[in-house]
Amino acid sequence: MSTNALSDPSAHALDLRPETFERFCRFITTRLGIKMSAAKLPMLQSRLQRRLRELRLPSLEDYQTHLFDSAAGEAEQVHFIDAVTTNKTDFFREPRHFDVLTRTVLPRLDPARGPGAAGTERSWRLNLWCAGCSSGEEPYTLAMVLAEFGATRGDFDFSILATDISTRVLATAGRAIYPADRIGPVPAALRSRHLLRSRDPDRAVVRIAPELRAHLAFQRLNFMDASYDVPGAFDVVFFRNVMIYFDPPTQEAVIGRLCRHLRPGGYLFVGHSESLAGLDVPVRCVDTAVYRKPP
């Protein structure tokens, strides 16, 4: 809905009373760790309009009752979270990180190259966690990068766990189908190897090749949970452009929980606009927005 529609008198019934907005905000902060200022009120109103139409509710006050005070409220929370979370991503977003991963991090982690590598078998399986994967462009970018690395190293395999709290974006990621105009950042050589174009000339879409998709698993996860039900430990964790929505205490708590699943010597990548400075966390900075857990 446009801001003009929000100011239209006919939309008056869709306006949020301050106390209702505060109740929504408390839920968002408690469940998602996201601070909501009064400036976000128009955005929240706009994003909830679809749910009102789908549920055939006349106002946001009625929606509040449905969400918080009805038997259907628990199931509705999934839809509410889908509506209010922001999911901005691209293929090869902040591309320098992928160069750092290939040229620095992977060689340092490679068991055939590190100290005491003599006699070590070359076979290596890397486990990576893309935490906050949104609609899938980032984990598929990582899969392309790792597949290219494996083609030069040999005897290399990898798995990527991609998690997000939004069921809507996880469904998009699982389909692995994207508008063709989204793949501009993907180098031409990687497009030819890892992307499939539709056989229908009227469909301007691409799909990630099945050989690449086989390396990924998608899972719903809330960073506000006290512990994370994820399999095993990871060599690398990408947690980029998520912390910007959290206050410092929440950042510290979430990073601490993520690091429980990071192997000693493993690497944590955060967004270029993010920093762990001032946080009591078990990693140290080794490059721009790249951190390492001591071996």
Write down the residue that tokens 């955060």 correspond to: 270
Mean pLDDT of the chain: 90
Matching CATH number, 3-84, of 1.10.155.10, 1.10.240.10, 1.10.287.70, 1.25.40.10: 1.10.155.10
pLDDT, tens digit, 9 for 90 and up, residues 153-191? 989 999 999 999 999 999 999 999 999 999 999 999 999
47 catalytically annotated: yes
Q: At what angle do helices 41-55 and 73-84 cross, to 10 degrees?
A: 130
By DSSP bridging, strand 195-197 and strand 290-292 are: unpaired
pLDDT, residue 9, reads: 33
Percentage of the chain modeled with pLDDT above 90: 77
Mean of pLDDT values over 179-208:
93
- Annotated catalytic residue: which of 15, 23, 31, 47? 47
pLDDT, residue 86, reads: 77
Q: At what angle do helices 73-84 and 60-69 cross, to 10 degrees?
A: 130
157 catalytically annotated: no
Q: CATH 1.10.155.10 spans which residues of the chain? A: 3-84
> Listing from the earlier edge strand, what are the strands of the sheet with 216-220?
216-220, 156-164, 124-131, 234-239, 262-270, 290-292, 284-287
What is the pTM (predicted TM-score) of this model? 0.87
Distance CA 256, CA 184 (A): 35
pLDDT, residue 116, reads: 56
pLDDT, tens digit, 9 for 90 and up, residues 81-125? 999 887 789 999 999 999 999 999 999 999 987 655 554 557 999
Q: CATH 3.40.50.150 spans which residues of the chain? A: 96-292
Does residue 87 contact residue 119 with C-beta atoms inside 8 Å?
A: no
Does residue 265 contact residue 292 with C-beta atoms inside 8 Å?
A: yes
- Annotated catalytic residue: which of 51, 164, 235, 292? 164
pLDDT at 3 over 60: no
Confidence band for 293, pLDDT divided at 50, 70 and 90 = very high
Which is the CATH superfamily of the domain at 96-292?
Vaccinia Virus protein VP39 (3.40.50.150)
